[in-house]
Structure 1
Amino acid sequence: MPTSNTFFWNDRLKASGIHFGISLVIALLAALLVFGLWYPYPYREISGGRELFLIVVAVDIVLGPLITLAVFNRAKPWRELRRDLVMVALIQLSGLGYGLWTVFVARPVHMVFEYDRFRVVHAVDVPLELLAKVPPGVDAFPLLGPTLLSLRPFRDNQEKMNATLAALEGLSLSAQPNLWQPYAAAIPEILREARPVSALKTRFANQASEIDRVLASTGRAPQALVYLPMVGRKSFWTVFLDPVTAEVLAFMPLDSF
């Protein structure tokens, strides 16, 4: 025959389970926001968004139900129980909000052609004091996912030296807004620097089948495509391009430098 202690724990486990289910639904909605807008493929891997989000959400959806398991008790007056549950919800939502803000400010905002390569620029990479130098028509921190940009030619040797020194101190060329320009403005330079896919398959013969699989996903003739290396937050990737328009067609986690 069930004891009062059994009912006591059954109530707590049920409340905790309901809380876990609600937390999971909220986490799934947050995932749609993060991976649908801020970290679309391949940036969720290139920029570490997946790992960062999973850490934040895993802590949040486990912590809240555990606290509910600890505080839920039907023997409490309803006003006191309601206060406890509201406090748990506020703590959990505050933690989730802070976590999402951390993911948001670390999000990728641009993929920039940096003279002979692509580089992913994140919101935290761009100093706020340089925002006044963002060219007209360029959104420094787009909300709907990363955009394509390129770097304009240096105006003179002094500007090149200043920009290079800043890069050596940790501010990459691609994170310097005064050098930004529309992606289309650099198409001739992009195509001049791009290399034929056949050369990539020769260099990485042991990965030729994987390269072919990625190229097949573009729906284009593989032998006609070109590529450039890309620098991410934690790794190097390869970007495949149309040989005429420089349109970005596919990505591959391959260090092609």
Structure 2
Amino acid sequence: MLTNAPQFWRDRLTASAVHLGASLLIAAFAGALVFGVWYPYPYREISGGRELFLLVVSVDVILGPLITLAVFNRAKPRRELTRDLAVVVLLQLGALAYGLWTVSMARPVHMVFEIDRFRVVHAVEVPPELLDKTPAGIEALPLLGPTLLAVRPFKSSQESMDATMAAIQGVSLGARPDLWESYAQAVPDVVKAAKPVSQLKRRFPTQAADIDSVLASAGRRAESVVYLPLVGRKAFWTVFLDPSTAQILATMPLDSF
């Protein structure tokens, strides 16, 4: 067993275990940032934040301690050993910083009401050349979690045509800062576009119980709620709303288009 192993390997395994513990602690703090701020529920499901974060962190957490296992040797001069471990830590922190930057660029920044649906917009989808056209009072790329916005009515037929052509080229209406307005301004349009949940249950009778369960968790009954479809990065979801205020009450992974 370990007590009979050469001191050489005991030292290496101990150093690697300490490094692993520190790496897991740092990963936990990174996870709190990612899932508590950038990808709160349901965005971690809609936008794939969980998979991206786990890929980045698992590689970082595993490789650091493995490299320490390979390079740690008490027979080395203290200065050389300190240098080797410092290089490992710096490489690991650099990789983690790059991974978190990648995750941040893919983070959801807004849920936007888009004529007859909601769309989750991610930082990487917002055209940089339009950022200076963001309306006053709206933060284009918030760092403290996604916000609710809406697409304003078109000012002219030409603007509508230009937006349609841009959408065909891959820039959705909801990702254009020049078309954003506050969600409060769009409440009447949201309420008008929303549909009764009873209609949704008729369309998906096998999902009726799940719908009721989701709404019960929000303290509501189907008769007092409306819905709209939601376009996410990975799949289509459904958003449940108050029929008077357009307040979002709940979401569920159901393609209601």
**What is the TM-score normalised by the length of structure 2?**
0.97
Partner of 1:137, secondary structure, is: coil
Partner of 1:56, secondary structure, is: helix
Structure 1 residue 115, shift from structure 2 partner? 0.2
Structure 1 residue 220, shift from structure 2 partner? 2.1
Decide whether aligned partners of structure 1 residues 3 and 242 sit closer, same or farther in structure 2, where only a CA change above 3 A counts.
Answer: closer
Equivalent-residue separation in structure 2 for 1:90 and 1:49 (angstroms): 25
Matches within 5 A, 1:162-241: 162-241=162-241
Decide whether aligned partners of structure 1 residues 224 and 104 sit closer, same or farther in structure 2, where only a CA change above 3 A counts.
Answer: same
Decide whether aligned partners of structure 1 residues 12 and 40 sit closer, same or farther in structure 2, where only a CA change above 3 A counts.
Answer: same
Gaps of 5+ in 2: none
Q: Does 1:151 align with 2:151?
A: yes
Decide whether aligned partners of structure 1 residues 214 and 256 sit closer, same or farther in structure 2, where only a CA change above 3 A counts.
Answer: same
Equivalent-residue separation in structure 2 for 1:108 and 1:211 (angstroms): 25
Q: Percent identity?
A: 67
Following TM superposition, the consecutive aligned residue runs of length 4 or more in structure 1 with deviations greater than 2 angstroms are 1-5
Equivalent-residue separation in structure 2 for 1:165 and 1:3 (angstroms): 70
Partner of 1:145, secondary structure, is: coil
Equivalent-residue separation in structure 1 for 2:202 and 2:5 (angstroms): 70
Counterpart residue identity of residue 9, structure 1: W
Decide whether aligned partners of structure 1 residues 81 and 168 sit closer, same or farther in structure 2, where only a CA change above 3 A counts.
Answer: same
Equivalent-residue separation in structure 2 for 1:4 and 1:15 (angstroms): 18
Equivalent-residue separation in structure 2 for 1:151 and 1:239 (angstroms): 17
CA RMSD after TM alignment:
1.4
- Any idea what the Cα deviations from partners look like across 1:6-29, whole Å, max 9, x if unmatched? 211111111101100000000000
Equivalent-residue separation in structure 1 for 2:129 and 2:7 (angstroms): 60
Structure 1 residue 5, shift from structure 2 partner? 6.0
Gaps of 5+ in 1: none
Q: How many residue pairs are counted as aligned between the two chains?
A: 257
Counterpart residue identity of residue 26, structure 2: I
Counterpart for residue 81 of structure 2: 81
Counterpart residue identity of residue 253, structure 2: P
Counterpart residue identity of residue 248, structure 2: V
Equivalent-residue separation in structure 2 for 1:62 and 1:118 (angstroms): 39
Counterpart residue identity of residue 25, structure 1: L
Equivalent-residue separation in structure 2 for 1:110 and 1:181 (angstroms): 12
Counterpart for residue 108 of structure 2: 108
Equivalent-residue separation in structure 1 for 2:129 and 2:159 (angstroms): 18
Counterpart for residue 120 of structure 1: 120
Partner of 1:41, secondary structure, is: coil
Equivalent-residue separation in structure 2 for 1:237 and 1:5 (angstroms): 55
Decide whether aligned partners of structure 1 residues 77 and 113 sit closer, same or farther in structure 2, where only a CA change above 3 A counts.
Answer: same
Matches within 5 A, 1:82-97: 82-97=82-97
Counterpart residue identity of residue 154, structure 2: F
Structure 1 residue 222, shift from structure 2 partner? 2.7
**What is the TM-score normalised by the length of structure 1?**
0.97
Equivalent-residue separation in structure 1 for 2:253 and 2:54 (angstroms): 21
Counterpart residue identity of residue 155, structure 1: K
Counterpart for residue 242 of structure 1: 242
